[in-house]
A and B are shown apart, each in its own frame.
Chain A
Amino acid sequence: MEQGIKSFNLMDKIKGNPIVRKITNSRFYKKYEWKAIIYILPVLIVLAVLNFYPIAYTIYISFTNFNEVHFYRFVLVGFSNYAYVLSTSNLYTIIENTLVWSFGSTAVMVPAGFMLALIMNQRGLRGKYLYRSMFLFPWAFPAFITILVWSNMLAYNGGVINEIINVFGFRSIAWLTSPKYAMISLILVNFWLSFPYYTFVYTSAVQSIPSELYEAAEMDGYGSFKTLTGVTLPLLRRQIAFVTIFGFIFTWNNFYVPFLLTSGGPGISTQILITYSYLEAFSYDNFSLAAAYSVFSILILLVFVIIANHYSKMMQVVY
């Protein structure tokens, strides 16, 4: 009882304090609802502990000699990890692979998804829901499983793709084990995995355009191509940019497709920055080099995103 009164007095004292009163009466303080921070506290904790700290830690160990040999006693070594990475020819091959992989995948899956969304959005098209259910299969089956299924389908001996090719009289192709075809196979599998996602996203975007606009376009005698370039594309400009750029980022950081299909092989012909970083860390225990590769990856990606955002203003979709 007494304690309750005491604390009540204490709160009163704090609130009566001239400095506190000055702060609470300021316009800056009144602009925000400070108590609402409690609701987003979990997000803040997660950001601090499980995102910012690890990222800072990765940047830190990229400047040390943290590896199997110096596991317990590692010291700062400055930029020597970066100098080493830049001096190896591997880095340039890997960056080239990463670029081919990300641009190649985005260039096929985004237009295909948009095209399918437009086709499925035609008025009075029969069997729309049947097709939509079919497209659900690659998305709904966990990618982890289907990538492994694809790796069996593309196998040189007994793989069903080669069996079918043989029926038509062509010789078997080493889809996953020759440097020539390995990247094409990766992009093909990634295309299979992701085109349904883009179809669904773009269907959602296309459906958000009011039908009156299409009716008006039809009254003005617009053909379907002119409707596309005159109505749909300008209206969805930012949405398309947003989805494309985030698709690019996701592909850049996509780990499972290269890791499970070829694990970077043959040689390093399908090794991308992120799989190589994982390999350095957990196969060779070279944690500082792995961190340096991660930092390279994020720096290059950041440049791309800043340029893309500058031209497309896609971040405006967010608000």
Chain B
Amino acid sequence: MQSVEINKNEIGYKQENYEMFKRNNYYKRVRLVKRIVSHIVLIIFSIFAIFPIYYVFITSLNPIGSLGDATLKDLLPTAKASLYNYYSIIFRHPFLLWLRNTLFLTTTSTLIGLALAIISGLAFSRFRIPAKHALLYTLLILTLFPFTMLVIPFYFMFAELHLLNTFIGLIIPYSAFSLIYATYLIKTYVDNIPKDYEEAAQMDGLSRRGALFRILVPMAKPVIIFSLIIAFMGPYTDYALAGQFLTSPGKYTMAIGMYYISQGTITVNYGVYSAFAVLMGIPIFIVFFVFQKYLVSGFSLSTYK
């Protein structure tokens, strides 16, 4: 009698085991299919993402007279591939002048904007400033306003101040925009840093201000670098403002040069044009690549708020 029962139990156990095995196998197969689908989706998106960059890079190496001459054969490096287009854009066109103007404008306005943004971002986060929430809402709501609403008045304001066609006239709005944007980013990031660090530093004899700036600035490094990149990007590629403000060719930036080349005002070979695009894009791309990890950590959309 007893032995029969044991036998039954054993059979039951085996059946359960078999079912578990089956279920496990099913899960494994589902997981495998999921993995394969994931990789296919990611590969398609990667090709989509990279193709235009590959295209402009490869056309910059091949000698192509105009866009109409371009064929599918140009998608692979041909025997005639050379760096001649790069030589041509650098030494036959005012590229170096445009580069100098652009770098001067971008670095000055980024540094001014960021330095002020660090101070005000920290203050917004840590001090009990009157009307703080109203101010922060205002900063957010200002993003609703189209910049054409600003460009037209700016044009007349700066004309009145005789700042049109000068670099100062552009540095002011550029650094102002990066100031607003970066203040907001730094404030939200610093909010997530616990106050214990500064309190400990104050115990060790630092003043409140000293504790804030000496402790929090190094801790906010990811968001500072993130805002630095974003702030650099704006003036570097700005056409809407610079195109209206700067009128003498000696003051053109790379973006204006690029626009005129693409519109045919300044005629160059198609290959040369591509070389210009690559040369203008590469510096920003390197910066992004080097600071890649800060791009994710710079956003501070934490879940529990």
Contact = CB atoms under 8 A, between A and B. Distances in A.
Contact of A137 (B50, B71, B153): B50
Interface residues of B, number: 92
Contact of A120 (B42, B144, B154, B285): B42
Contacts of B237: 142-145
B38 A125 contact: yes
Interface stretch (B51-59, B78-86, B88-96): B51-59
Interface stretch (A17-25, A29-37, A85-93, A174-182): A29-37
A131 interface: yes
A55 B72 contact: no
A239 B133 contact: no
B15 to A, nearest CB: 20
B52 A146 contact: yes
Nearest to A290: B152
B37 to A, nearest CB: 9
Interface of A: 31-34, 36-37, 39-40, 42-44, 46-47, 50-51, 53-55, 57-58, 61, 115-116, 119-120, 122, 125, 127, 131-146, 148-153, 155, 157-160, 163-164, 167, 192, 195-196, 200-201, 203-205, 207-209, 224, 235-236, 238-239, 242-243, 246, 249-250, 252-253, 255-256, 259-260, 273-274, 277-278, 281-282, 287, 290-291, 294-295, 297-298, 301-302, 305, 315-319
B153 A58 contact: yes
Nearest to A164: B72
Given A163-B70, A273-B146, 9 more contacts: A44-B135, A50-B154, A50-B173, A58-B153, A122-B35, A238-B305, A260-B262, A278-B151, A315-B140
Contact of A50 (B75, B139, B172): B172
A167 B252 CA distance: 41
A259 B66 CA distance: 22
Contact of A119 (B38, B123, B138, B153): B38
Contacts of B49: 134-135, 137-138, 192, 195-196
Nearest to B43: A131
Interface of A is mostly: helix
B142 interface: yes
B295 interface: yes
Contacts of A127: 39, 42
A39 B305 contact: no
A144 B142 CA distance: 23
Contact of B72 (A134, A160, A208, A238): A160
Contacts of A36: 123, 127-129
